[in-house]
Amino acid sequence: MTRLIVNGVGLNVEVHGNGPAVLALHGFTGSTSTWAGLVQAAQDKYTLILVDLLGHGESDSPDDPERYLMERCIADLMGVLDYLKLQRACFLGYSMGARIALSAAAAATERCATLILEGGSPGLANHEERAQRIKSDSELASFVGEHGIELFVDRWEQVPLFASQAQLSPPVRRLLRSQRLQNNPKGLANSLRGIGTGMQPPLHHELPSLAMPVLCIAGELDSRYTAIAEEMCRALPDGHLAIIPRAGHNTHLEQPEFFNQVVLGFLDSLSPRGNSS
């Protein structure tokens, strides 16, 4: 575990393994522990760079929601790569992390060798949808500020998107809940306000210009994000689709062996091109 000061904020960064670099970004309420299974499976061949995103895990939770905006998040991540003296890396993200990875690939194409999006989205194209999402995220942020982390996690676990997680074993569900409870409520609230889906500039028009290989992963039980993944792959010049059976939104947790196999198979197929320099 390393604490880096990047652009005036402290970020928790972990580096595991050897080989081409993979910058891995967790989802909302997550942390670097999200990728524990992938680290075990991949560290003999790849260098996994895990970052607690701002407001999460052991990273700082600034008071100003504008510090969490997408462009500032991308600048922080490029600062991490600079510190590690990496010109390029594979960008891998789950859910919120996938939105950030896609945005980073569009903003800093020269730094992204390949892109892996798990439960990812290019944002909301419709202005009214974005406005409604900003409103609902603001209400959710107020809830965590007023009621605290435990009641917020109770509410978050009931979101329909995570219904398939009922199939997880009790020990895994307890571990996931414990990890969520370790987050700073102020950090989660400001993350919702600053880098929620409604706040993200939509990227649909950017997809045809992303020339790097892109793997879009979704769980077959997550119909919404399966449709989004299919749509993105049709727009991407070098898009690849992987639908994980018997999994919902969180495929790496619900079907970890299948997820690791898909990710490593994709990376291994690109190894002659290299993922970092």
The tens digit of pLDDT for each residue in 102-114 reads 999 999 999 999 9
For the beta carbon of residue 112, count every other beta carbon within 10 angstroms: 23
Task: State the CATH number of the domain containing residue 169.
Answer: 3.40.50.1820
Structural domain boundaries enclosing 107: 2-269
What stretches in the chain show pLDDT beneath 70? 1, 272-277
Q: What is the pLDDT of residue 2?
A: 86
Q: What CA–CA distances, in Å, run from 110 to 133, 210, 237?
A: 31, 10, 16
Of the chain, the percentage scoring pLDDT greater than 90 comes to: 96
* Average pLDDT in the chain: 96
Confirm whether 277 is domain-assigned.
Answer: no
Confirm whether 130 is domain-assigned.
Answer: yes
Q: Are the C-beta atoms of residues 225 and 184 closer than 8 Å to each other?
A: no
Q: What is the pLDDT of residue 127?
A: 95
Confirm whether 88 is domain-assigned.
Answer: yes
Amino acid letter for position 238: D
Q: Are the C-beta atoms of residues 198 and 149 closer than 8 Å to each other?
A: no
For 113, residues 6+ apart whose C-beta sits below 8 A from its C-beta are 20, 88, 89, 90, 212, 270, 273, 274, 275, 276
Which pTM does this prediction carry? 0.96
Confirm whether 234 is domain-assigned.
Answer: yes
Q: What is the pLDDT of residue 271?
A: 72
Confirm whether 165 is domain-assigned.
Answer: yes
Confirm whether 119 is domain-assigned.
Answer: yes
For the beta carbon of residue 2, count every other beta carbon within 10 angstroms: 11
Number of domains in the chain: 1
Confirm whether 274 is domain-assigned.
Answer: no
Q: What is the pLDDT of residue 276?
A: 44
Confirm whether 242 is domain-assigned.
Answer: yes
